[in-house]
Structure 1
Amino acid sequence: MDGIKGVFFDLHGTLLISDDVSKAWAEWREAFHRCMVGCGLETSMEEFQIEVEGLFEKPEPEYDAPGLSVFERRVMELCSRHGLEMDGNYMSWMVDHIIGIWYRGMYMDPEAQAVLEALRPRYRTALITNWDHTPWIRRWLADSGIGGWFEDIVISDEAGCAKPDPRIFRIALERLGLEPGEMAYVGDSPEDVRGALAVGSIPILIKREESDDGDIEGDARVISRLSELLDLFQP
């Protein structure tokens, strides 16, 4: 691709994948409910499932709790709605526990490391992810070694904005000294495509299987596996 100097990536669903996302979310909800019941919640699992449906797509809570991550503030807001009080140590343990449950079924795309190693000598690389709890993901990226694949990592919880907001892309672009038109962004969701377009970059949509995202495909380069990036970015 002419003029491209940076290839930036989404994490979940793009580099980090699951064979059964529905199962992962079901196990996460069950673990979350058990932990909340341990704190005094009396809501049934069925009612709780409805309450947390789309939790991470909802606006950031206005719950005033400086120093807490977005996810921790979501938990505090949930506790407030049910008249519960949660000890800070218990909440920290719970958040780590239920994120770990969700991550049990996740694994790195087998092609990811080789693709990044091939791109890095010729392109600037960054990771831009929507994630509501910075401490966990920073620790996981460091422990797994994946964080070392990128020159910069932007997490929505830290940035104060999330995809498709173009501001989160500008943070990485400014840090690496690139213009929007010099960056291609690889992601798996409509938010990834719309955000890249909004900032003026080139979106690349990875679709490993058929889906109903036809309305956004026309605005993005479409690939079915990560290794196809090496065809797009030939020396």
Structure 2
Amino acid sequence: MMPRPVKNKKELRAVTFDLYNTLLIGGPADNDTDISAQVFSNALHLDGMEMDEDSAAEMFATQFDRSKKDGFTYFERRIATFLDSHDFQVPDTSIQQYAQAIIQSWGPRWTLADDAIDVISVLKQNGIAVGLVTNFDHYPYVRELLTKWELDSLLDAIVISFEVRSDKPAPEIFLHALSSLRVAPEEALHVGDDIVDVEGALDVGMQALQIDHTGAVGSKGHVVGVPVIRTLSELTEHILL
């Protein structure tokens, strides 16, 4: 599919954003798994189950049944499946606590982009609705982050993959956002760092911009012909002309 040029404010009625590496900027991630495995291993130890950090790290690659509906988020289901495979029987509340502790350990390296609030505010002042479209397997944490960074009150639609049972680049997650914002695909623009953001948006007929805060877009893939911006502020230069 050939990418479409970015339209101006008279033609756009909505902009949707990815969350991680788009509205939020992360520090070095080299030791994320090590830290999370340590947190997980320590939590198991406190509950009387011994597992070294290397073994605990294997949980992040565990395959699990996404069709099962048992009150768990996908991330909690991954943990439960992993523990079952090691014959560890734990209550649901403990699994939920492990999930929260692990994900909270990622928090310190993420911060809100300096220009995020200003850009969203400018869009809304120009009559453009603003939404979030993010892939995340543990939706309560995303909700917490949005409250922490005071984004929840600014967003007209919040679409988290687990809640709609669809992950980018599948069309369903984008179509859900468009329906919530009450706009047609050609009236909306999606901004994200990953190729799944760009290709998913284009495939449903939306506009797309790829953002590259860190210079790492090349490692994630880039759709030829789609504009790349380095800051959120550059977005307004593309659409508010």
Compute the TM-score of the two structures, normalised by the length of structure 1. 0.88
Q: Which residue of 2 aligns with 1:66?
A: 70
Q: Which residue of 2 aligns with 1:167?
A: 172
Q: Which residue of 1 aligns with 2:34?
A: 26
Change (3 A) 1:85 1:200: same
Structure 1: which amino acid aligns with 2:94?
A: Y
Distance 1:19 1:153 in 2: 24
Contact 2:59 2:82 in 1 (8 A): no
Distance 2:165 2:25 in 1: 25
Cα root mean square deviation, aligned: 2.2
Q: Say whether residues 1:157 and 2:162 are aligned partners.
A: yes
Distance 1:205 1:121 in 2: 23
More moved, 81-90 vs 214-223:
214-223
Distance 2:70 2:211 in 1: 37
Distance 2:163 2:56 in 1: 28
Which structure has greater helix proportion? 1
Change (3 A) 1:63 1:117: closer
Q: Which residue of 1 aligns with 2:209?
A: 204
Change (3 A) 1:194 1:30: farther
- Identity over aligned pairs, percent: 27
Distance 2:236 2:60 in 1: 39
Distance 1:31 1:230 in 2: 41
Q: Say whether residues 1:227 and 2:196 are aligned partners.
A: no
Kindly tell me the number of residue pairs found equivalent between the two proteins: 231
Distance 2:157 2:143 in 1: 12
Q: Which residue of 1 aligns with 2:153?
A: 148
Distance 1:232 1:167 in 2: 27
Structure 1 residue 215 displacement after superposition: 4.8
Distance 2:211 2:184 in 1: 23
Q: Say whether residues 1:49 and 2:53 are aligned partners.
A: no
Contact 1:189 1:205 in 2 (8 A): yes
Deviations 1:23-55 (A, max 9, x none): 3343223212332454565554234434524x6
Q: Say whether residues 1:83 and 2:91 are aligned partners.
A: no
Distance 2:67 2:25 in 1: 32
More moved, 16-25 vs 119-128:
16-25
